[in-house]
């Protein structure tokens, strides 16, 4: 079990998905730092977690200048790994930033580190990239590791498979988080009951509160990268959100088709409504964020409900 009042470092922090999920799990931090270079994401992080010290570009972080760190979380860029990307692999310009995170972990040796990435990490370059990650971690020699491919639809109505990886510093913590088996309420207008999730079974909560309009046609549309079309019931499970503005899932509403609103996307990622609407910069000035940026940041974010469950188990 982790004690309270720990020191925390959030790399590639984005809009604070890891930080928010750990907060929801009950974590309390004595010192916080984060690394982010996108000005819109940083304005949101500063708004919600003003006590966190912004360290800027991860490549410029000097570990010796940091306090003792207990937990490091990160979701390094995945564009070189995912099916939608060009799959340059772990040594691509962006996905290669994984090694910057490992540079910091090697120097600091936190009690726990957690990272999240796309399913493609397991198969990138015929699986050699994931083996490379294991070798890189093994070179430190003091971490016991566990990982699992987790689908966000176990927690929210979004079909989003991501690998979550946890490193436990020898003797300070031990692998005990995975596999996830959770029970939650499945919500509908005429039915509320407890159901048990197993790894092979997914129940979803219906989309609620994202828009005030009634859905005359209860169909959710997702266009894939090859322009194939997938249809899902509106009270079912959305396909994964991505960072693109125009490739978000669409809803047939009355006689027109519309994309999911930013607020609906926030709910699909487990954030409160309007989380990404306005930020605050370092000068205290309010920053209005465009829908294009909101879609991008939400598509890049981690599903906070998954982080909350992982955090809850780490505190047991």
Could you give the residue numbers annotated as active site? 78
Q: Are 163 and 119 in contact (CB under 8 A)?
A: yes
How many beta carbons lie within 10 A of that of residue 130, not counting itself? Answer: 21
Please provide residue 177's backbone torsions phi and psi, each rounded to the nearest 5 degrees. Answer: -85, -45
**Distance between CA atoms of 77 and 99, rounded to whole angstroms?**
11
R_g (Cα) of the chain, nearest Å: 19
CA atoms within 13 A on the CB side of 3: 6
Residue 212 to residues 194, 207, 257, 310: CA-CA distances in angstroms? 27, 11, 16, 33
Q: Which residues have a Cβ under 8 Å from the Cβ of 236 and sit 6 or more positions away?
A: 157, 204, 206, 220
Please provide residue 255's backbone torsions phi and psi, each rounded to the nearest 5 degrees. Answer: -110, 15
With the C-alpha atoms ordered 121, 124, 128, 132, is the resulting torsion angle positive or negative? negative
Q: What is the biggest distance separating any 2 CA atoms in the chain, rounded to whole angstroms?
A: 60
Please report, for the chain, how many H helices and E strands are present, in that order: 7, 17
Query: Per residue in 42-71, is it b (16+ CB within 10 Å) or e — as a string?
Result: bbbbbbbbeebeebeebeebeeeebeebbb
DSSP assignment, residue 243?
S
């Amino acid at each position: 079990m982790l004690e309270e009042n720990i020191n925390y470092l959030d790399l590639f922090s984005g809009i604070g998905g890891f930080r928010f999920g750990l907060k929801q799990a009950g974590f309390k931090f004595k010192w916080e730092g984060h690394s982010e270079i996108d000005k819109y994401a940083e304005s949101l992080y500063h708004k919600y977690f003003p006590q966190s010290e912004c360290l800027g570009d991860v490549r410029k972080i000097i570990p010796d200048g940091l306090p003792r760190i207990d937990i490091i979380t990160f979701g390094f860029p995945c564009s070189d790994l995912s099916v939608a990307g060009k799959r340059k692999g772990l040594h691509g310009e962006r996905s290669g930033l994984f090694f910057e995170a490992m540079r910091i972990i090697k120097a600091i040796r936190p009690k726990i580190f957690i990272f999240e990435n796309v399913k493609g990490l397991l198969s990138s370059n015929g699986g050699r990239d994931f083996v490379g990650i294991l070798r890189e971690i093994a070179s430190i020699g003091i971490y016991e590791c566990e990982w699992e491919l987790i689908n966000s639809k176990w927690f929210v109505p979004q079909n989003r498979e991501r690998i979550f990886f946890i490193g436990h510093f020898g003797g300070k913590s031990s692998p005990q988080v995975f596999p996830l088996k959770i029970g939650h309420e499945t919500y509908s207008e005429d039915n509320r009951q407890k159901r048990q999730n197993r790894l092979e079974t997914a129940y979803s909560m219906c989309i609620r509160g994202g828009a005030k309009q009634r859905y005359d046609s209860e169909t959710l549309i997702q266009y894939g990268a090859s322009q194939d079309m997938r249809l899902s019931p509106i009270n079912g499970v959305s396909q994964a959100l991505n960072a693109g503005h125009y490739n978000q899932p669409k809803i047939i509403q009355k006689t027109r088709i519309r994309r999911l609103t930013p607020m609906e996307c926030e709910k699909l990622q487990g954030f409160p409504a309007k989380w990404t609407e306005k930020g605050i910069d370092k000068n205290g000035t309010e920053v209005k964020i465009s829908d294009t940026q909101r879609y991008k940041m939400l598509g890049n974010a981690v599903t906070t409900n998954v982080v909350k469950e992982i955090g809850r188990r780490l505190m047991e």
